[in-house]
Structure 1
Amino acid sequence: MIVPLPTDILKVPIADIPELGRKFQACCQACGFHTLREVCQLGAYEASKDRYLGPDHFRKLVDFLQERRILRALHD
């Protein structure tokens, strides 16, 4: 997948990012999240309490963003 700016991936539908894996996509769908921006806005604390996402899936997202050097571009 090619996106113009690195942070534009946050606007791409989660279903269109196969690198995240089907299990992560299914968890996001169950939570009603459609983009990575929605998951990031939830935050680590809230995501870890979510019965579908949990800390493991949020960690997968953080790793995904860190590999693409996007994590630093996000604001707290």
Structure 2
Amino acid sequence: MTRGSQLLRTALRVLTRVVLTALSVVVAMLLYLVCQGVFSGYPKYHTRLLSIIAMILVAVTGGVVWIIDQRRIDADD
């Protein structure tokens, strides 16, 4: 493996992580706003159901994070 390909691979890994982090922040903000009822009050668009779905997604995400954290080697600390 050449040094150039190693640098390219590292740059792509960093870029992927940055894009995924930015996307996660945008999705988290959207879920937060939906859960707070910012978009509620529009029965025609079923926004109450959207708020319930957002709360379920927040709970599932928290559960997944907890499971991943518990599987770490140093989880006993």
Q: Tell me the TM-score normalized by structure 1.
A: 0.31
* Greater helix share, structure number: 2
**Which of structures 1 and 2 has the bigger CA Rg?**
2
Q: Tell me the TM-score normalized by structure 2.
A: 0.30
